[in-house]
Chain A
Amino acid sequence: MGILYLLIAIVGGVTGIAGYQRWFVRKHTATLLGQIHGLELESRDKIPAAQLAEARQDAAGKMASLTGDFTDQINLLRKEIDQIAQTKNDLQSSYAVQIEVLERKIAQQNTSVDEVKKQLKTDILGLLQLLSTISRWDDEMMKLMEHNGHMQKKNQEFSGIVKQIIILALNASIEAARAGEAGRGFAVVADEVKTLATRSGGLSDNYKDNLHKNDLITTATFQDIQASGKMILTSIHALDAKLEKLVRV
C-alpha cells in the first residue's frame, strides 16, 4: 500500500515538472519573436532612397517591356482573327456557288425524272392494251374451235356415208351371189367397194380422233396464252400502282 502511494506521488511530481517546462518554453518563444519583428522594422527604415528609386525604375522598365510584348501578341491575334474571318467569307461565297450549281442540277434531274415518269405511264397504258390482244386471241380461238366442230360434223357425215357404202357393198355382194355366174364380176367390184369403204371408215375414225386431239391441244395452248397474258396484265397493273405512288411523292 505504501509502495502504491509512493508511485502515485512520483507520477504526480513528474507530470508537474513537464507542465512547467511547456509553460517556460512558450513564454520565451513569444519574447524572441517580438524581438525579431522589432529588428526587421528597424532594418527597413535603414534602406537608402537611391536604392529604392533604382529598384522602382527597374520594375517600371520590366513592366514596359512586358506591356510591349502583350501588345505585340494582341496584334498578332487580331491579324489571325482577321485572316479567319476572310477565310470564312471566302468559304461562304464558294459554298453558295456550289449550292446554286447543285440546286440547278437537282432541278434538272427532277425535270428528267418527271419526264421518265410520264414516259413510263404512257408505256404502261400502252401495255395495258394487251387486254384487247387477249380478247382478240379469245375470238380467234373460238373461231378455231367452231371450225374444229364444223369439221367434226362433216366427218360424222362422211362416216355415215362410209357406213352406207359398206351396207350397199354388202347388198351388192348378196345380189351378185344371187345372179350366179353372171354376177361374178359384179361381186368382185362389190368386194373392192366394201374394202375401200372399210378403209375410209378407219381413216374417218382416225380423223375424228385427231380432231379431238386438235381440240385439246388448241384449248390447252390458248388457255396457257390467255392465262399468261392475264398474269402479265396483273403485273403491269401492280407496276402502274407503284408508279402512281412514286408520282405522288
Chain B
Amino acid sequence: MVTQYAKNCLDKLMTICLDETFRSSAGEVLAIKPMDRIDSVVQKEFIMLTISSYEFRICILLHFSKDKPTMDYVAKALKITPDKLEVARYYDFLCEMGNTFCGTFKRELGKHFPHLGMSTPNRLVGSSLKFMRELNFDYDAHFKTSANDNVAFCSSVFISAYKDFDLCVEIKKQAEADAENGALELF
C-alpha cells in the first residue's frame, strides 16, 4: 500500500526531478503542471525506465512526439541547426534525458532506500501506453511540461509496492539549492 503522504512526496519528487532534468539537459526550465489522467497524454512515443527494489518497482515515462517543434527544441539543446539533427541523435538525446530524469529520481529515493537498481531506457510507441493499466500499479501520476505553445513533453510515474510504501522527501529545487549555496557561485 502506498500512503497518501508518499503519493504527495512522489508528485513533489517528479516536479523537482523534471525541473532539474530540463535545466541540465536543455538549459531551460519549463512550466510543469499535473495532469488528471493518462488518457490526456497525446504524444506518440515514450521513453520508459524502471527503478527496482525488493520493496517496490517504479516506472518513469517521458512522453514526446517526433514533430517539428520538438525536433527544433532538441536541436537547440544540442546547439545545432534542425536540418543537422539526425533521427538517431534525436532519440539518443531523449533517451539520455530520460536517463537523467530517472537517475535524479533514483538518487533522491536512494536517500531513503539503500538497495536500488535502475534499468537502461527503452523507446515505445504511444499505442502501448493504454496497457500500463494491466501491469497493476498501485499509484500513477502524470505531468505536462511545456516551454511554449508548441513544445510539450509529458511524464508519468507508476509505482507497485510489495510492502507498505512510505516516503518523506526533503529535497529542494536546484534553483533554491543554488540560492542557498551562494558561495559556490564564487568559484
A interface residues (Cβ-Cβ under 8 A, vs B): 138, 145, 208-209, 212-213, 215-217, 219-220, 222-224, 226-235
In B38-71, which residues have CB < 8 Å from any A CB? 48-54, 57, 59
B119 part of interface (Cβ distance < 8 Å)? yes
In B120-161, which residues have CB < 8 Å from any A CB? 120, 122, 124-125, 127-129, 131-132, 134-135
Tell which of A212, A215, A220, A231 touches B59, judged by Cβ atoms closer than 8 Å: A220
- CA A164 – CA B57 in complex, angstroms? 45
Kindly list the 5 A-B residue pairs having the minimum CB-CB distance in the complex, ordered from nearest. A231-B117, A230-B117, A227-B52, A223-B50, A223-B119
- The answer to whether B119 touches A227, judged by C-beta atoms less than 8 angstroms apart, is yes
Shortest Cβ distance from residue A161 to the other chain B in the assembled complex, whole angstroms: 21
- The answer to whether A227 touches B122, judged by C-beta atoms less than 8 angstroms apart, is no
- CA A220 – CA B60 in complex, angstroms? 11
- The answer to whether A219 touches B122, judged by C-beta atoms less than 8 angstroms apart, is yes
- CA A112 – CA B112 in complex, angstroms? 38
Tell which of A145, A215, A229, A235 touches B115, judged by Cβ atoms closer than 8 Å: A235
List the B side residues contacting A216 at CB < 8 Å.
Answer: 124, 128-129, 131-132, 135
List the A side residues contacting B124 at CB < 8 Å.
Answer: 215-216, 219
A215, A217, A224, A227: residue with the most chain B Cβ atoms closer than 10 Å: A227
List the B side residues contacting A219 at CB < 8 Å.
Answer: 48, 122, 124
B35 part of interface (Cβ distance < 8 Å)? no
List the A side residues contacting B51 at CB < 8 Å.
Answer: 227
- The answer to whether B48 touches A231, judged by C-beta atoms less than 8 angstroms apart, is no
- The answer to whether B115 touches A213, judged by C-beta atoms less than 8 angstroms apart, is no
- The answer to whether B50 touches A229, judged by C-beta atoms less than 8 angstroms apart, is no
List the B side residues contacting A235 at CB < 8 Å.
Answer: 115
Shortest Cβ distance from residue B48 to the other chain A in the assembled complex, whole angstroms: 6
- The answer to whether B59 touches A213, judged by C-beta atoms less than 8 angstroms apart, is no
- B: interface residue count bin: 20 to 34
Tell which of A208, A209, A213, A224 touches B52, judged by Cβ atoms closer than 8 Å: A224
B52, B119, B131: residue with the most chain A Cβ atoms closer than 10 Å: B119
- The answer to whether A217 touches B115, judged by C-beta atoms less than 8 angstroms apart, is no
11 sampled A-B residue pairs with Cβ under 8 A:
A212-B131, A213-B128, A215-B125, A220-B59, A223-B59, A224-B52, A224-B119, A227-B50, A227-B52, A228-B117, A231-B54
A213, A216, A226: residue with the most chain B Cβ atoms closer than 10 Å: A216
List the B side residues contacting A226 at CB < 8 Å.
Answer: 50, 117, 119-120
- The answer to whether B53 touches A231, judged by C-beta atoms less than 8 angstroms apart, is yes
List the B side residues contacting A229 at CB < 8 Å.
Answer: 117
- The answer to whether B115 touches A220, judged by C-beta atoms less than 8 angstroms apart, is no
- CA A235 – CA B53 in complex, angstroms? 11
Shortest Cβ distance from residue A238 to the other chain B in the assembled complex, whole angstroms: 8
- CA A216 – CA B127 in complex, angstroms? 10
CB-CB nearest in chain B for A229: B117
- The answer to whether B131 touches A231, judged by C-beta atoms less than 8 angstroms apart, is no
- The answer to whether A224 touches B50, judged by C-beta atoms less than 8 angstroms apart, is yes
List the A side residues contacting B127 at CB < 8 Å.
Answer: 208-209, 212
CB-CB nearest in chain A for B52: A227
Shortest Cβ distance from residue A136 to the other chain B in the assembled complex, whole angstroms: 14
CB-CB nearest in chain B for A142: B122
B30 part of interface (Cβ distance < 8 Å)? no
- The answer to whether B120 touches A220, judged by C-beta atoms less than 8 angstroms apart, is no
B118 part of interface (Cβ distance < 8 Å)? yes
- CA A208 – CA B130 in complex, angstroms? 13
Shortest Cβ distance from residue A216 to the other chain B in the assembled complex, whole angstroms: 4
List the B side residues contacting A234 at CB < 8 Å.
Answer: 115-117
- The answer to whether A233 touches B134, judged by C-beta atoms less than 8 angstroms apart, is no
List the A side residues contacting B117 at CB < 8 Å.
Answer: 226-234
- The answer to whether A217 touches B135, judged by C-beta atoms less than 8 angstroms apart, is yes
CB-CB nearest in chain B for A233: B117
List the A side residues contacting B135 at CB < 8 Å.
Answer: 216-217, 220
Given the interface pairs A223-B59, A227-B50, the reply to whether A213 lies near B120 with Cβ below 8 Å is no
- CA A224 – CA B51 in complex, angstroms? 7
Shortest Cβ distance from residue B123 to the other chain A in the assembled complex, whole angstroms: 9
